[in-house]
Chain A
């Protein structure tokens, strides 16, 4: 019977065993045990395990919720960014004849037009155009040349891609801006500029006012906040438990005992005080078997 009770006692969580294991074993040695104690100790071990698990679950839930709320606050404080796109095609003027342009030449033309349209002067003209009134806040703080190079160039892209038939050259204009109406107006203006430069430019996909912002993806930010909160919470609890357990065991020790433990750790026999104490408890347990 004692063997069964000792087996059940081993089912307690390691943290609990570290703190109470020695005295619990002493009680089992001294008390007149009954068969009902096997179930009692087993039930106690299950309860302790459940308590340990529950506190992790609760902490993870609360910390995750806090993380989600913080992430939500951040996500909703970020302004929407709208992306407006248009797809154009530079048609081969004489595709059917032998004098038609090669695909490479068409691509060169698109790149040439893109370089001109996205030139610094042209971007500055777009920014300064009162019809668009782009980057009003930035213009109060920075020179317009800087805004054109550092901000607008990162938000405005022209990307060539194949049409599949190998004759024409398609390309997409994309502009991201916090105001979807202005984003649309700028892309419409760029479509007009491409068309003005070459009569062979056709429209595959007209620019449309975007329905949904492309950034921020608030649900993803909140989900990341939730997961980060849960992980942080569980990690914090694990660290707190380890340090607390160490503090409980050593806080009442006399100074010379603490110094002795530190010297054992410093001698390299153990990684830390916790490991040393665990080793002592194991040795003590083995001595009383």
Chain B
């Protein structure tokens, strides 16, 4: 799973995070380092689709929160991926 939008949603599913915290978290759980341009490209798209929302912040680092629609989308995608993983596992089993 290397789609930056899914990685950001997966990161935010755990709790609200700002850009750097997302980058760090994604690197830890997925082993993928998203560059700043890629990360903020994903954030821009997700916010436009209203799957995440920016929260108020006292400093420059604005935290983001996953929305209900974003969570729903992530669940659909994960269910789809699970089916693919399950099928692939079954097919990889020695006959």
Contacts of B94 in A (CB 8 A): none
Known A31-B23, A48-B44: A23·B36 in contact at CB below 8 Å? no
A31→B35 CA distance, assembly (Å): 10
Contacts of A43 in B (CB 8 A): 37-38
Q: Would you call B41 and A27 a contact (CB within 8 A)?
A: no
Q: Which of B36, B43, B56 has the most CB of A within 10 A?
A: B36
The answer to whether A47 has its CB under 8 Å from any CB of chain B is: yes
Report the tally of A-B residue pairs with Cβ distances under 8 A: 70
Q: Mark A21-32, 1 if CB is under 8 A from B, else 0.
A: 011111110110
Interface-facing stretch out of A33-41, A64-72, A73-81, A136-144: A33-41
Q: Mark A12-27, 1 if CB is under 8 A from B, else 0.
A: 0000100010111111
Contacts of A42 in B (CB 8 A): 37
Q: How far is the CB of B40 from chain A (nearest CB, A)?
A: 6
Known A23-B18, A26-B59, A26-B60: A48·B41 in contact at CB below 8 Å? yes
Q: Which residues of chain A from 1 to 16 have a CB within 8 Å of any chain B CB?
A: 5, 8-9, 16
Q: Which residues of chain A from 84 to 121 have a CB within 8 Å of any chain B CB?
A: none
Known A31-B20, A48-B44: A23·B62 in contact at CB below 8 Å? yes
Q: Which residues of chain B from 63 to 95 have a CB within 8 Å of any chain A CB?
A: none
Known A20-B43, A252-B56, A288-B60: A26·B37 in contact at CB below 8 Å? no
A26→B41 CA distance, assembly (Å): 16
Interface size for chain B: under 10, 10 to 19, 20 to 34, or 35 or more residues? Answer: 20 to 34
Contacts of B18 in A (CB 8 A): 23, 26-27
Contacts of B20 in A (CB 8 A): 26-27, 30-31
Contacts of B44 in A (CB 8 A): 16, 20, 48
A40→B42 CA distance, assembly (Å): 13
What 5 A-B pairs are tightest by C-beta distance, nearest first? A44-B37, A40-B35, A26-B60, A27-B19, A41-B37
Which of B35, B38, B40, B59 contacts A20 (CB under 8 A)?
B40
Known A16-B44, A48-B41, A284-B60: A24·B35 in contact at CB below 8 Å? no
Interface residues of B (CB under 8 A from A): 18-20, 23, 35-41, 43-44, 54-56, 59-62
Q: Would you call A37 and B36 a contact (CB within 8 A)?
A: yes
Interface residues of A (CB under 8 A from B): 5, 8-9, 16, 20, 22-28, 30-31, 33-34, 36-37, 40-45, 47-48, 252, 284, 288
Which of B19, B36, B43, B56 contacts A41 (CB under 8 A)?
B36
Known A26-B20, A27-B23, A30-B20: A37·B37 in contact at CB below 8 Å? yes
Known A20-B44, A24-B19: A44·B36 in contact at CB below 8 Å? yes
Q: How far is the CB of B10 from chain A (nearest CB, A)?
A: 19
Q: Would you call A27 and B36 a contact (CB within 8 A)?
A: yes
Q: Would you call A45 and B43 a contact (CB within 8 A)?
A: no
Contacts of B39 in A (CB 8 A): 27
A47→B4 CA distance, assembly (Å): 15
Which of A40, A252, A288 contacts B36 (CB under 8 A)?
A40
In the complex formed, the residue of B with least CB distance to A281 is B60
A31→B38 CA distance, assembly (Å): 14
A48→B43 CA distance, assembly (Å): 12
A5→B40 CA distance, assembly (Å): 14
Given contact pairs A22-B62, A27-B18, a sample of 4 additional A-B residue pairs in the complex whose CB atoms are under 8 Å apart? A23-B18, A26-B19, A36-B35, A43-B37
